[in-house]
Amino acid sequence: MEHAQTTADRAYTQDRSVWIGEWHTHPSSRPVPSAQDTATYRQLLDDPELAFHSFIAVILSPRTSHWHMTAWACRNDVITRVPVHTLPEQVGYQ
């Protein structure tokens, strides 16, 4: 928790970025929440230290020549797929 907060604070100081969720990959399956993912999402929402009322989860899975990405809004016991819009330019992080 401390490391995540330090990272989020640093990003906010640099360019006002805020942490709105998490992402991970499903290298050998579709980019939909697994049973383990949904259990993790419930734990995050139930954690009083985090005090989340909702968050966005992004899952990526490889395709032949590109990555497929889906986003999921997590609130209470409901996980809903939401649209993802990407910018054409690449953004670099340090």
Rounded CA separation 18/9 (Å):
8
In this prediction the pTM is 0.68
The pLDDT tens digits of the residues spanning 83-93 come to 988 777 655 54
Rounded CA separation 26/84 (Å):
17
Q: What is the secondary structure of 29-88 as a DSSP string?
A: S-SS--HHHHHHHHHHHH-TTT--S-EEEEEEEE-SSSEEEEEEEEETTEEEEE-----S
The pLDDT tens digits of the residues spanning 8-35 come to 899 889 998 877 666 788 888 888 899 9
